[in-house]
């Protein structure tokens, strides 16, 4: 998750370079010392709550069956049961208060862990981090470890932001755990680095399982067949040859280029920030990449690149479905995005056993162990900026003063790091705070491109749906048109099939659902609020249809597509003659408008700003292109971290 990377890059901006070097060597040292620490210095941290007995359900994974610790902050959220009748198709969250927006977090399965490596002595400086998403948690812990006195302010009653696992109450959903945000853990090395930067060893906190033997299964509506993304190169070659003679050989050529994009692209633009448009022609940066892969195929649409290797639509789709989860489409995403398929195939797709909540628990624990003060239910309403009296002409003319909470409370700080979605920060937290910039902020936000919104169905199932592996992509028979995001009820009724992603954690983690049952989480990308408003206008509607109407139509479409694939008709040991609909036991839905309410993501765009070429690297806000008329003003002491900012490409 690149927000972790952004946290490290922000540290590079803020903490003096000598200290960074020291931090990273600390990290390396902590890895080396990790094993010793696990046996010698375990410490119990319960974050203010006594430990509670193990969950009654036993798990196939031994560490999960152990005693669990509950975290006080995670237990305050509403546990209202949510049950939905399939027949009435009543929608959930009809009138949600803030607490009602979430289910309960699963209990943490790790209750003991080695004390993280020590922090630097206090440096007398204060820092406020706004937002306890993965980016906010990672940077708060790092700042505290570097000697700052850190307060972390989160508007919700729990940490993790978009990264969370939830359990929804109600008989039909009891015992089912859903990862309602990330479900694919890619780049495990980046997570290890993030833990090392906090003086810890990831494996002491989070147990990763590689999702295997099938990394991803693609289900084609065109002919109700599937293709698998396999780590086994020979099995992959054979599978592709059956679809298109010659594709097996081409696969290795394509994968070589994709892997080069990954290795060299990461080095050039993700592991280091970009602050000038000239970076794109800086040979020391892009030279190795341009020599390894034809630049036209790197920067042109990914569909061009794939067409030079394959003619089968099914194969091209197998290596480009990843746009579903970055909110792009193969027709306009640059070819360099093949790096996503490359990391899935060569580094693997991983899963934190016990769900993604284990990652957020660990980050909270480590931040608090370094002294971060976390305050939940603390919504920031404004970032306060002052004149930089000490500034010379070349310095930033403004500097940070602190923040104001929605309650009216004022907090001052030497450093403020904003983790919420950047357009929201510009528009809602900085507006009016420093002369001239509010206009610029508004303009910037209007000109930006936003990713998709999403309807998320969490279904508990009466029996295993074993045609599915853990990660599944369902693809429409209309390979091009289907990337136009559905926006209206008519879209769901009229189109033949859709692109969506289905997570079935039982494939790897038996703790995800009660024995004999199963569950799936469906992520169905739809138009963001702007796109829905435009579509409504085109359709002659006075306003976009309600979430409830859209969800009902989408649910029917999803069930149709499962049944078109032949799924849900009969399952392991239990006949469900009524088809997919009768396999569903319970449901909870995250509706399009919930995303903005939950996390303040602008226009309900779940992945934040989209990732087109003109919103990557130095063009991603706060824009620093080296061209003064384009660049955002800077405020001394104000920093950003998270998915919509740099270098989170
Ligand atoms: C459905 C879905 C599926 C995804 N799948 C994957 C995946 O499989 N793999 C992957 O790597 N990534 C995935 N992602 C992306 C990943 O979840 C995000 O990139 C990442 O979680 C973003 O973290 P962040 O810290 O940048 O922001 P956020 O998680 O949005 O954190 C920002 C925090 O700020 C808080 N906040 C907002 N406004 C205020 C305020 N005024 N005052 C105080 N606090 C405030 C929010 O409540 C939130 O906690 C997925 C995202 C979604 C939504």
What is the token pair recorded at 129? 């981090």
- Cα–Cα distance between 637 and 423 in angstroms, integer? 19
Identify the sign of the CA torsion 531, 537, 539, 541. Answer: positive
pLDDT at position 306 is 95
Atom of ligand 1 nearest to the CA of 595: 53
Q: How far is the CA of 162 from the centre of ligand 1 (A)?
A: 3
Contact 73, 159 (CB under 8 A): yes
Q: Measured between alpha carbons, how far is 123 from 571 in angstroms, rounded to an integer? A: 61
The rounded Å distance from CA 226 to ligand 1 centre is 31
Dist. CA 135 → ligand 1 center (Å): 8
Contacts of 239 (CB under 8 A, 6+ apart): 227, 228, 230
| Minimum-distance ligand 1 atom for the alpha carbon of 428 | 41
pLDDT value at position 436? 52
- Convert 276-299 to b/e letters by CB count within 10 Å (16 or more is b): ebebbeeeebbebbbebbeeebbe
C-alpha to C-alpha distance for 140 and 360, rounded to whole angstroms: 13
How far apart are the C-alpha atoms of 55 and 66, rounded to whole Å?
Answer: 9
Ligand 1 atom nearest to CA at 523: 1
**Distance from C-alpha of 142 to C-alpha of 498, rounded to nearest angstrom:** 42
Closest CA to 498 of 221, 134, 236, 279: 221
pLDDT in tens, 192-241: 999 999 999 999 999 999 999 999 999 999 999 999 999 999 999 999 99
C-alpha 174/C-alpha 471 separation (Å) is: 23
* Residue-level pLDDT at 323: 87
Position 63 scores a pLDDT of: 21
Residue from 98, 161, 164 whose mutation best tests the ligand 1 pocket (most atoms within 8 A of CB): 161
Centre of ligand 1 from the C-alpha of residue 357, in Å: 13
Instruction: Return the pLDDT at 176.
Output: 97
The answer to whether the beta carbons of residues 227 and 475 sit under 8 Å apart is no
**H-helix or E-strand spanning residue 42:** strand 42-44
The single-letter DSSP state of residue 116 is P
Residue among 166, 375, 420 to mutate when testing ligand 1 (max atoms within 8 A of CB): 420
Atom of ligand 1 nearest to the CA of 608: 19
pLDDT for the residue 438: 56
> Which pLDDT value is given to residue 100?
62
pLDDT of residue 464: 94
> Measured from the CA of 162, which atom of ligand 1 is nearest?
29
- The atom of ligand 1 lying closest to the CA of 153 is 43
Distance from residue 133's CA to the centre of ligand 1 (Å): 5
Residues of the chain with pLDDT under 50: 1-2, 5-6, 8-99, 435, 571-573, 575
Residue 357 near residue 55, CB atoms below 8 Å: no
Residue of 165, 182, 504, 508 to mutate, ligand 1, most atoms within 8 A of C-beta: 182
Nearest atom in ligand 1 to the alpha carbon of residue 379 is 42
> What is the predicted pLDDT for the residue at 15?
35
What is the reported pTM? 0.85
pLDDT, residue 55, reads 28
The predicted structure's pLDDT at residue 440: 61
How high is the pLDDT of residue 31? 28
Mutate to test the pocket of ligand 1, among 419, 601, 621, 646 (most ligand atoms within 8 A of CB): 419
What is the residue with the minimal CA distance to atom 37 of ligand 1?
420
Distance 644 CA to ligand 1 centre (A): 10
Q: Which residue has the tokens 């093949």?
A: 338
Atom of ligand 1 nearest to the CA of 133: 31
The binding-site residues of ligand 1, defined as CB within 6 angstroms of any ligand atom, are 1, 3, 130-136, 153-156, 161-163, 181-184, 186, 325, 379-380, 419-420, 454, 523, 599-600, 606-607, 642-643
Domain ranges of the chain: 2-47+82-121+177-209+352-369, 379-449+609-640, 453-599
Nearest-atom number in ligand 1 for the CA of 131 is 34
Q: Where do we find the tokens 């002294």?
A: 371
Give the closest residue to 16 by CA, choosing from 120, 137, 138, 141: 120
- Alpha carbon of 268 to ligand 1 centroid (Å): 25
The structure tokens 């899963």 sit at 351
CA of 420 to the centre of ligand 1 (A): 8
Residues for the chain: how many in total?
649
Query: How far, in Å, from the CA of 314 to the mean position of ligand 1?
Result: 32
Mutation probe of ligand 1 site: the residue of 102, 135, 156, 162 with most atoms within 8 A of C-beta: 162
| Distance (Å, whole) CA 460 – CA 176 | 7
Cβ of 307: how many Cβ atoms within 10 Å? 12
């Amino acid at each position: 998750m690149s927000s972790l990377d952004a946290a490290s890059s922000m540290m590079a901006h803020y903490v003096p370079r000598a200290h960074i070097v020291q931090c990273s060597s600390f990290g390396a040292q902590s890895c080396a010392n990790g094993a010793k620490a696990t046996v010698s210095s375990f410490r119990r941290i319960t974050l203010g709550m006594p430990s509670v007995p193990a969950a009654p359900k036993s798990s196939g994974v031994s560490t999960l069956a152990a005693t669990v610790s509950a975290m006080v902050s995670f237990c305050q959220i509403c546990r209202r049961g949510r049950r939905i009748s399939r027949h009435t198709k009543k929608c959930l969250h009809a009138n949600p208060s803030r607490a009602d927006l979430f289910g309960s977090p699963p209990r943490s399965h790790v209750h003991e862990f080695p004390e993280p490596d020590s922090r630097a002595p206090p440096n007398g400086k204060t820092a406020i981090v706004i937002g306890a998403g993965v980016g906010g948690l990672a940077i708060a812990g790092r700042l505290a470890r570097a000697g700052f006195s850190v307060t972390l302010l989160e508007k919700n009653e729990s940490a993790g932001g978009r990264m969370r696992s939830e359990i929804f109450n109600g008989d039909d959903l009891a015992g089912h755990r859903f990862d309602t945000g990330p479900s694919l853990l890619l780049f495990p090395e980046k997570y290890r680095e993030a833990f090392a930067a906090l003086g810890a060893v990831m494996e002491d906190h989070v147990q990763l399982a590689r999702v295997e033997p099938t990394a991803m299964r693609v289900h084609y509506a065109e002919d109700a067949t599937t293709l698998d993304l396999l780590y086994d190169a020979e099995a992959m070659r054979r599978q592709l040859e059956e679809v298109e003679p010659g594709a097996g050989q081409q696969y290795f050529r394509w994968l070589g280029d994709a892997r080069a994009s990954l290795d060299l692209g990461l080095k050039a633009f993700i592991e280091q920030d970009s602050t000038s448009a000239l970076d794109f022609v800086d040979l020391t940066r892009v030279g190795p990449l341009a020599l390894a892969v034809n630049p036209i195929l790197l920067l042109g649409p990914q569909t061009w690149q794939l067409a030079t290797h394959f003619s089968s639509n099914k194969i091209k789709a197998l290596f480009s479905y990843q746009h579903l989860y970055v909110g792009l489409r193969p027709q306009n995403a640059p070819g360099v995005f093949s790096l996503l398929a490359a990391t899935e195939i060569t580094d693997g797709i991983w899963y934190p056993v016990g769900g993604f909540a284990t990652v957020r628990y660990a980050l909270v624990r480590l931040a608090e162990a370094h002294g971060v003060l976390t305050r939940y239910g603390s919504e920031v309403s404004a970032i306060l900026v002052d004149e930089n009296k000490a500034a010379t002409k070349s310095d930033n003319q403004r500097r940070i003063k602190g923040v104001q909470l929605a309650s009216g409370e004022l907090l001052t700080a030497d450093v403020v790091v904003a983790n919420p979605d950047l357009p929201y920060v510009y528009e809602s937290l900085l507006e009016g705070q420093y002369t001239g910039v509010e206009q610029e902020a508004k303009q910037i936000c209007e000109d930006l491109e936003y990713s998709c919104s999403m309807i998320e169905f969490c279904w508990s199932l009466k029996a295993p749906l074993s045609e599915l592996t853990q990660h599944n992509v369902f693809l429409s028979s209309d390979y091009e048109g289907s990337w136009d995001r559905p926006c209206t009820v008519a879209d769901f009724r009229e189109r033949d099939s859709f692109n969506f992603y289905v997570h079935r954690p039982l494939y790897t983690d038996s703790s995800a659902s009660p024995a004999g049952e199963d569950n799936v989480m469906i992520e169905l990308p739809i138009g963001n609020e702007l796109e829905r408003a435009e579509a409504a206008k085109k359709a002659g509607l006075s306003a976009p249809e309600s979430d409830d109407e859209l969800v009902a139509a989408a649910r029917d479409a999803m069930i149709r597509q499962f049944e078109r694939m032949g799924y849900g008709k009969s399952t392991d040991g239990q006949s469900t003659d009524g088809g997919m609909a009768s396999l569903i036991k319970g449901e909870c839905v995250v509706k399009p408008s919930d995303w903005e309410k939950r996390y303040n993501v602008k226009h309900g765009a779940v992945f934040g700003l989209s990732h087109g070429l003109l919103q990557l690297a130095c063009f991603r806000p706060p824009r620093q292109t080296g061209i003064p008329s384009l660049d955002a003003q800077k405020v001394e002491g104000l920093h950003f971290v998270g998915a919509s900012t740099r270098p989170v490409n």
